[in-house]
Amino acid sequence: MLLGYCGSGYYGMQYNPPYKTIEGEILTKLFEVGAISEENSSTPKKNSFMAAARTDKGVHAMLNLLSLKISLQEDTVAKLNAVLPPEIRVWGIQPVNKKFNARSACDSRWYEYLIPEFVLIGPPRSSVLHKNVGVCYREDGSQEVWDAFLEQTRERFSGDELCRLQDTAQKLSESDPLVQDYVGLLSGTLSGYCLPRSKLYAFEAAMQEYVGTHNFHNFTTGKLSGDPSAQRHIKEIVVSQASPRWISVRIHGQSFMLHQIRRMVALAVLAARCQLPPNLVRNHFNAGARKYIPRAPAQGLLLEGPVFDRYNTKLRKLLYCEIRPDNITLERMCRFRERRIYTAIAHEETERHVFCHFVRQMNRLATL
């Protein structure tokens, strides 16, 4: 089953009751259209569910692939799309042999991460982050934006409120009305930041440091530097302007660990923001003591698609259909990405200011 989904409002791909997940939604609808029994609709193992990639809470997919056992009819895809919510689309279903496993047959995966340009703004002089890297930092127009924001905060908030907002020991919750008001004001200010091309090039240079085989133990949770599974291979990274005010980072790798991509992006953002050399990234591959790396928001991440080159080579030799979308389906997928996923990412920022919260979090970093 080839499918795409907008992950907003879902607790990830994997079936995990009582939480709302993509697999849970698909199981329910498969029973509804008569493709599986009611007994099997609450037990993914009985249907041999296996995803080419597991996406986390809030993460999207233009294309993912499930291997599963179902009763397949000619109109199963049409029936499923008629009952599934519009944020989940089935692109197609095709038979495979009983040994096929979506996860093990997958060679590699393409992901995309979208960030707004303002995330690369330099840290304000008053921040802990600026004090930590100020010797290296060169003025790039960022401080004027922060000065304007400072004036606005003095007009909007009392002295006591500003003290509460700046108190790192107290650390107010993101849902606190005072924080929401503050970040809403910050969003309006940062939207006027004009990104210098040099910052975009610096960010791209930092991202290119990940290409190759490295020890990514610092980029996930619960992995020691000596763990062989922390070694991961990145094939290619492409940084481009997705649209005015947004940057696209496309990452092609064999496999990824929990939160790995979000931490990769966050560290490259820090290097570009603070005008630090790209080899800052390399320092986090070293064995030894763990280094803290923040996570970029989940809302900016989407699975572009799994790659089945080796398996498709076998299928071609046997004269079977390859596992890939045809041109018409690919066009539908791209439209879905534009209208559903990209729109959801932009809406999430407008409504919840997730990347503004991220900037504020990074400004408080004491170490890199």
CA distance linking residue 251 with residue 210, whole number of Å: 10
Residue 83: per-residue pLDDT: 98
Q: Which residue, of 105, 122, 154, is where some domain finishes?
A: 105
CATH number at residue 207: 3.30.70.660
Residue 65: per-residue pLDDT: 96
Q: Which residue, of 105, 126, 147, is where some domain finishes?
A: 105
Structure tokens at 11: 């607790």
Residue 41: per-residue pLDDT: 87
CA distance linking residue 119 with residue 353, whole number of Å: 11
Same domain, 90 and 130: no
Residue 137: per-residue pLDDT: 67
Residue 135: per-residue pLDDT: 61
Residue 336: per-residue pLDDT: 97
Residue 366: per-residue pLDDT: 73
Q: Are 295 and 58 in contact (CB under 8 A)?
A: no
203-212 b/e (C-beta count within 10 Å ≥ 16 → b) = bbbbbbbbee
Residue 99: per-residue pLDDT: 86
56 is catalytic: yes
Same domain, 209 and 287: yes
Same domain, 112 and 217: yes
Binding residues: 111
pLDDT along the chain (368 residues), means of 10: 96 93 95 92 88 93 96 95 98 89 94 96 90 74 90 92 79 86 93 90 96 95 88 97 92 95 97 90 85 94 96 89 91 96 94 93 83
Rounded to two decimals, the pTM is 0.93
Same domain, 96 and 157: no
Residue 136: per-residue pLDDT: 65
Query: Which of the following is catalytic: 56, 107, 140, 181?
Result: 56
For residue 298, what are the domain limits?
Answer: 107-309+336-368
Asked whether residue 324 is assigned to any structural domain, the reply reads no
Number of structural domains in the chain: 2
Q: What is the DSSP-derived secondary structure letter of residue 194?
A: -
CATH number at residue 21: 3.30.70.580
Asked whether residue 329 is assigned to any structural domain, the reply reads no
Type and span of the H or E element at 31: helix 22-32
Asked whether residue 130 is assigned to any structural domain, the reply reads yes
Binding residues for substrate: 111
Residue 138: per-residue pLDDT: 72
